[in-house]
Structure 1
Amino acid sequence: MTDRQWADWHRPQQHYLIEPRYLAGGGDIRHATEFLRASGWKDRSKTGGPLVFHNPDKLVRVVFDPLAQPGGWTVEGRATADRPSWEARFGTGTPVEIIAGLTDALTQQPTAHAPNVWAPLGTHGWEARRGQHVTAVSPDKSAFVQFHQSSPGQAHWWIGARTEHGRAWDAHLSPTTPLSLVQALTTALSDPRPVMRPLGNVPPSDRIRSTSVSVTPAQLGAWQQARLTAARTAMWARSAWTAARPRNRHPATAAPRVPAGHTTGRR
């Protein structure tokens, strides 16, 4: 590294901490894709095409295609003997930290505990409403999670955020999406911690709160490296575990329930 490169690497740059995170804009997709790579996923992308990652057993793939219509992220799980196929789609404006809530969970062994999609939302003050659909709304009314039942036997998960300018992003998940993954997504969605965006990448909305901070490329690189090191360590631990024990599957999907003690009403 030259003296100039070293100086640039340690020169502070203006960034912003954005709250709430679901209104922070898309962010750097490498936050999700590099974690998958470090977790042993295979990059099947082609030059000039979308980014495509496959998990080691080729049962799940993650695609990012900003040029297709409507564009964004697609996560697909193939059917297995004990689990139906499933799909999750996210618009291009979905914050990458929320995408990573689901994609990070794909790299981990599920716990033995029954998932509860609504629990993380209730913990952070989201209001549960029950009508034709089961819905949870953020405290500022800018984001929602809904188990949408359009007709008997027809349902999907609908998640999204809105600003005073209209739709910020939407996500749709098939009802067969493993609930452990939906819970990972709602955990990331309702996380009250801010996310960081560089100068020039702060969405124009009066509903966000931004705090100016100075960080160096060296600091950003160190934070990203720590995240990737954690992914590699977990991958090595899983490899050692699966060499001795059978592999577990995601818990079976089940009908969502509204947590006890929450208010109900129509959205």
Structure 2
Amino acid sequence: MKKKQWQSWGPGEQAEQHYLVQPRAFAGGGDVRHVSEFLRASGWRDKSKTNGPLLMESPDRTVRVAYDPYVLPGGWTIHGQADGPNGEWSAHLGRQTPVEIVGGLTDALTRPRSAHAPNVWTPLEQQNWHTRFEGEHYTATSPDGTAWMQYHHSSDGAALWWTGAKDKQGNGWTANFTPNTPMHLVQAFSAELANPNPVMRPRGRITHSAQIRTWSVSVKPSELRAWQQARITAARAATWARNSARSTRPRTTARPYTHAGGARTRP
């Protein structure tokens, strides 16, 4: 999925019908450019092959984000290489995971870690999710019982983060993260999972679920483009600020000593 240019619209544009969907967990996958364009604006490289799956690589080449709709079950794969004391990690998210929730994790990949210790459960508890122990597992469930986040221990001693949403009609998705996935990324994901604000989907792209509430809105294409561009502009500005800070940071290593007469020579 190579980069596509946003379409230009003339002054005679017509408003189009869209829907605000709540809860966001059942809004459907959405436009993958919500994720990919933000990463590209943050300096990530597009490694996708023409007409193939999406593949984005971080500037330091240690993390890859892929989306493949051409295989079953398909969806998102995020893989991080081992980094010093931190081991290799990965996350797998179903194709119906809303891009706004995926973006919680992938946006966090572009930002420096906070100095504060992350807590996956805090964003959920702030939105009145119910947390509890279930045997060896620790689980948080949304107020309506349709979405969950769980630190899961299996009988063989293996552990993982397991999350998802499912309605009474069987609609939904699941995702899992290896236990060594950086905690601030899992927290960023849980914050978007619990976010009570609705998300927008075009007409014809609404999941048929008894659990969702929708509001019809008329939106001009230029308005959609402006909202999308604002997100990209914010990513570019943050990237520029980080790069500028690095370039002006004072040197922390001493220069090698040389005699006033020039470079040292061997005897």
* TM-score strictly above 0.5: yes
Q: Which residue of 1 aligns with 2:38?
A: 35
CA RMSD of aligned residues (A): 1.5
Match of 1:85 among 72, 82, 88: 88
The structure with more radius of gyration: 2
Aligned residues: 242
**Inter-partner Cα distance in structure 2 for 1:157 and 1:232:** 31
Q: CA deviation at 1:11?
A: 1.3
**Inter-partner Cα distance in structure 1 for 2:14 and 2:76:** 33
2:241 paired with 1:237 = yes
Q: Which residue of 2 aligns with 1:265?
A: none
Match of 1:168 among 160, 163, 172: 172
- Which string of whole-angstrom CA distances, capped at 9 and with x for unpartnered residues, describes residues 173-218 of structure 1? 0000000000000001000000000000111011000000000000
**Inter-partner Cα distance in structure 2 for 1:45 and 1:19:** 32
State the identity %.
53
CA 155–16 in structure 1, closer or farther in 2 if over 3 Å, else same: same
Q: Which residue of 2 aligns with 1:146?
A: 150
2:113 paired with 1:110 = yes
1:222-233 mapped onto 2 (5 Å cutoff) = 222-233=226-237
- Which string of whole-angstrom CA distances, capped at 9 and with x for unpartnered residues, describes residues 76-98 of structure 1? 00001131110000011100000
**AA of the residue aligned to 2:66:** V
TM-score, length basis structure 2: 0.88
**AA of the residue aligned to 1:134:** Y
| Structure 1 runs not aligned, ≥5 long | 247-267
**Inter-partner Cα distance in structure 1 for 2:9 and 2:32:** 25
| Structure 2 runs not aligned, ≥5 long | 1-7, 251-267
Match of 1:54 among 52, 57, 69: 57
2:187 paired with 1:183 = yes
Q: Which residue of 1 aligns with 2:132?
A: 129
**AA of the residue aligned to 2:90:** E
**AA of the residue aligned to 2:42:** S
- Which string of whole-angstrom CA distances, capped at 9 and with x for unpartnered residues, describes residues 62-86 of structure 1? 0000112221000000001131110
- Which string of whole-angstrom CA distances, capped at 9 and with x for unpartnered residues, describes residues 14-56 of structure 1? 0000000011100111111100000000000011321100000
Q: Which residue of 1 aligns with 2:254?
A: none
- Give 3-state SS (helix, strand or coil) of 2:10's partner: helix
Q: CA deviation at 1:164?
A: 1.3
**Inter-partner Cα distance in structure 2 for 1:236 and 1:7:** 33
- Give 3-state SS (helix, strand or coil) of 1:166's partner: coil
Q: Which residue of 1 aligns with 2:198?
A: 194
